[in-house]
Amino acid sequence: MNFFSRFQETFLSPRKTFAALAERPVWLDMFIVVFIAIGVFSYLTAPYSQKDTLQMWKDNVKMQERLGKENFQKRLDMIANASPARSLPFPLATFLIGLFFSSLIILVLGRLVSAQGGYRQILAAVVHANLIDKILGNGVRLVLVLTRKTFLQTSTGLALLFPRMEITSPSYVILAQFDFFQLWMFGILAFGLAAIFKIELKKALFVSYGFWTLKAAFTVALSLLAMSFVK
Q: How far are the Cα atoms of 15, 70, 219 from residue 102, in angstroms, in the given order?
A: 21, 42, 13
| Enclosing H/E stretch for 97 | helix 89-110
Bridge-partner residues for 179, per DSSP? 157
Contacts of 11 (CB under 8 A, 6+ apart): 131, 132, 136
- What's the pLDDT score for residue 92? 93
CB 38 within 8 A of CB 138: yes
Residue 157 pairs in a beta bridge with 179
Q: Residue 137, by phi and psi: left (phi above 0), alpha (psi -120 to 50) or beta?
A: alpha
Q: What was the pLDDT predicted at 34?
A: 97
Predicted local distance difference test score (pLDDT) of residue 231: 56
| In contact, 7 and 33? CB cutoff 8 Å | yes
User: For residues 64 and 72, what is the distance between their CA atoms, to the nearest angstrom?
Assistant: 6
What is the pTM assigned to this prediction?
0.88
Residue 121 to residue 21: CA distance in whole angstroms: 7
Quote the CA–CA distance of 190 and 92 in Å, as a whole number. 25
CA 76/CA 54 separation, integer angstroms: 7
Quote the pLDDT of residue 99. 96
Structural contact between residues 49 and 167, judged by C-beta atoms closer than 8 angstroms: no
Residue 229's pLDDT is: 60
What is the chain's pLDDT, residue by residue, as a tens digit (231 residues)? Answer: 899 999 999 999 999 999 999 999 999 999 999 999 999 999 999 888 888 777 776 777 677 767 777 777 777 777 777 777 777 888 999 999 999 999 999 999 999 999 999 999 999 999 999 999 999 999 999 999 999 888 877 889 998 888 788 887 889 889 999 999 999 999 999 999 999 999 999 999 999 999 999 999 999 998 888 766 655
Instruction: Say which residues have a Cβ less than 8 Å from residue 151's Cβ, sequence separation at least 6.
Output: 45, 48, 49, 52, 145
